[in-house]
Amino acid sequence: MSDRPAAGPGRLVLVATPIGNLGDLSPRAVAALEAADVVCCEDTRRTRALLAAAAVPARGRLVAVHEHNESARTAQVLDWVRAGRDVAVVTDAGMPAISDPGARLVAAVAAEGLPVTVVPGPSAVLAALVVSGLPTERFCVEGFLPRKGPERRRRLAALATEERTALVLEAPGRVAATLIELAGALGAARPAAVARELTKVHEEVVRGTLAELAAAFAEREVRGEVVVVLGGAVPPPPPGDEEVAAAVARHLAGGARAREAADAVAAELGVPRRRAYQEALDQRQAGGRR
């Protein structure tokens, strides 16, 4: 039975589903799926099998909502919630809206001030992150990279300077080629991990540098869902005194006043303005230009 008030609008309920091990379907997820008036799912066949395994009747409640029709379905979902129906959203595996459909529905329902809630649970990206052995304090989900072209190159360039741990999803048949490309763009020595088949019988996590992982997967036939976890880029060292002094001298020689030179150098080098201003004063007192 739903735990929402009997009167008023329904709600959108995001329900996390197992990423491989059916034992990870929580009792609360089962209850939410059983109580829902409508179950929006990425693939009705897979969700029907999941419900059957959990002994939850489908009762004609399944509606396909996937990447190709999510926008078109949004108005209908809004009508259901307005009319007082509970609409559950599931994807084939994991948390809806994380590199899966669901985000548009959430945005539309929330924009109208209608209730949105979540039944948390399995997530491939979080599972891969915590078993990777890489830093977890700050991370980002890159998702699937564009298959080719300038947008793929732009995203790879962004990953090269990303200081947070980053998670990339990849199809099994493309893992080897992607690891080679990542090694070229981010550096062969970048630490990384490849996690596949998480929570399943053949779960595997391979850790090493991108060069080592590219070599390890070069001749392998890869199966199952894959998450590549990338260690963050090492931030460049802060500018030294000589670099700051040279930048200040350049601006003073160009006619800038001490304050102007300090502002410019602080913006260019990312140093405190006070540090740059003191250097400008010192150079001016030593005979530099005002």
Rounded to 5°, the CA angle 286-288-290 comes to: 120
Banded pLDDT at 95 (limits 50, 70, 90): very high
What Cα–Cα distance (Å) separates residue 39 from each residue in 56, 77, 91, 243, 248? 12, 10, 10, 61, 63
pLDDT tens for each residue of 171-203: 999 999 999 999 999 999 999 999 999 999 999
Residue 214 has pLDDT above 80, yes or no: yes
Q: How far is CA 175 from CA 56, 131, 154, 161, 171, in A?
A: 36, 19, 19, 21, 7
The structure's pTM equals 0.81
The pLDDT score that the predictor gives to residue 185 is 97
